[in-house]
Structures are given as structure tokens and as C-alpha cells.
Amino acid sequence: MDMRAIGNTPLAVTQFGFGGAAIGGLYRECTREAAMETLQAAWDAGMRYFDTAPFYGFGLSERRMGDFLRNKPRETYVLSTKVGRLLRPVPEDKVPDHSYVNPLPFTVDYDYSYDGIMRSFEFSFARLGLNRIDILYVHDIGVYTHGAEKNAVYQRQLLDSGMKALDELKTSGAISAYGLGVNEVEVCLDVIARHPIDCILLAGRYSLLDRSAERGLLEACRRQKISLVIGGVFNSGILATGPVPGANFDYGPASEDIVERVRAMQAIAEANLVPLAAAAMQFPLREPVVANVLIGTAKPSSLARNMELLNVTVPDAAYSAFEPFTIR
């Protein structure tokens, strides 16, 4: 699998990587056995970039990913996790519902401060059982998650002290790169105008359907040599399932407008004799500033099916035909 650099750092990642939300039980239970089998399938497919977060199953994803990677030669893979949430133990009946099935018995507290980031970093080592983390992402800063009023407080916390923690960790060699892990373009533009970063994990905003990142972010990343890691290439499923009844977009039921856009895209894909999902998987890497596309699943069969889509040649003419139906 081809490699691409992360910003101006010494890191390089495989063009496709494994996203760890599903092995933390996102939307449906994932057994430990299924998690290990899926991670092994990712490894066998050539993926050497693995992303997780404390939030995914409230520590469950980090534990499982660390268990899988522990006996792999450390120089052969790149690992990222996230900061911005601290886990706090609670009784089982107080565990919040964030769409994780059978998570560990914790709740989450937001903390983007210097101390909060340092504590989160140390706690992740304990859950992973590993002694090195390559990339740290600031998780879910922005209005999309917090609303305008709360985000103003959290963003000030990050810029006033949290970034200092990340700078210190990178300067000391404890990490090799840091950036943002978010679902919106606006906070990326806001932060990178105030502080240099190496990379952005952007979910759902640079896909075949939703090209919001073209509103200034791609150009800013090119100019500042910030790499993009793209998650959510299927936009919560609709680009994989097509415009079927009950299709999801952006973590919820797709609107009629979205369904109609995807229906038009499906027709274009069929006219070009390619699966729509193949075009969706391959699209982001047409942009050189994109270093990696994350694939998240808890089933080896799903991962294998997705990887087979990389063998499909999608004509340039098809990508041009999709453009009128995109969101920008």
C-alpha cells in the first residue's frame, strides 16, 4: 500500500488506515474476538495506520487496539489517539448513551486545557498498554459538538493552554505530530489561523457527496503543509448502501434532498459500470493534501469487501459527472 507523509513531520502513513470507533461498539456490540479478527484483517490488507480515541467505547477501543498492536514491531505502524475528553468511572446505570453498545463503565468530561491534555495522554498509555503514540488529535472541538456558547469557552481553553501541552509533547519527542479530529470545516480554519498544526482528521466533510472542505480548507492546508486524514467517506452509510429506504447521512436519517443527490450519483456510477462505494473510497486520495482515508468497521468481511473496491478503476469522467450533485 502506498505511503503519504504527514505534514512536515518524519511520519508517513499508508493511504488507507483503520478507524477504531466500530471496535468500541459504535451503534452495535462488537465482541473482543470480532475486534481482533477485524484488526488482523486490516493488517493483512496492508494497513499500517491505526486510529482510536478514549471516547470510542469509553476506553474499549484503545484497550483492544493496544492488545492487537502490542506484539507488532513498533516501527512498522503509526498510531493515533485523541485528547479533549477525560474518562471518569461511574456506576453502570449512570453510563451515558453516546451510541456505544456495552461500553466500559465511564462517563466523559470535556477538558481542552494543558492539564486535561496531559492527563488524557497519560491515561491513553495505560489503556493502550503501549509506550508510544505517534499522533494526537484534539477531539471534537467546535460548534458542531458543543454549540456556539460552550465552544467559545473550550476553544479559548485550547488556544490559551492546551496547544502549549501539544507543543511540549512534540518538542520532547513524546509524539511526532498533532492536529484536530473534527466533523466541521469552520473550526479547522479558525484554529489553523491562530496556531500551526500538522494534520487534521476530518470526518464526513471531504467525501464524494459532501465537499465542504473545498470552502477554503483544502487551500489553507496546501499553503500551510497540513495533511488531511479523511474519515466518514460513506457519509454514515448512504454512499455504501445507495439511496435505499432508511439510508443514513451525517449520523442520522438522510433527508429527501440527500437521497435524491445520491440517487443521481448512483445512476452515474451504474452508467460507468462502477460501484458507487468504490468511487467514494477512492475520491479523497485524488487530492494530494490527503494523506490517508480511514475505514472503520467491526467485521472482517466488511473490511475485505471495502478493500476489494480499491481494485476498481473509476473513470475521471465519472468524477466530473458527480460534481453537480455534491454539497459544498
- How far apart, in whole angstroms, are the C-alpha atoms of residue 119 and residue 207? 34
Query: Do the beta carbons of residue 6 and residue 199 sit within 8 Å?
Result: yes
In the set 56, 100, 137, 206, the catalytic residue is 56
Closest C-alpha among 68, 76, 65, 72 to residue 20 = 65
**Active site (annotated) includes residue 82:** yes
Strands 290-296 and 16-19: parallel
In the set 27, 44, 49, 51, the catalytic residue is 51
In the set 49, 77, 82, 170, the catalytic residue is 82
Strands 3-5 and 227-231: unpaired
**Active site (annotated) includes residue 97:** no
First to last CA, the chain: 30
What are the DSSP calls for 123-174, one per residue?
HHHHHHT-S---EEEEET-SHHHHHHHHHHHHHHHIIIIIHHHHHHHHHHTS
**Active site (annotated) includes residue 51:** yes
- How far apart, in whole angstroms, are the C-alpha atoms of residue 4 and residue 16? 10
- How far apart, in whole angstroms, are the C-alpha atoms of residue 240 and residue 238? 5
Residue 152, φ and ψ in degrees, nearest 5: -60, -40
Catalytic residue numbers, as ranges: 51, 56, 82
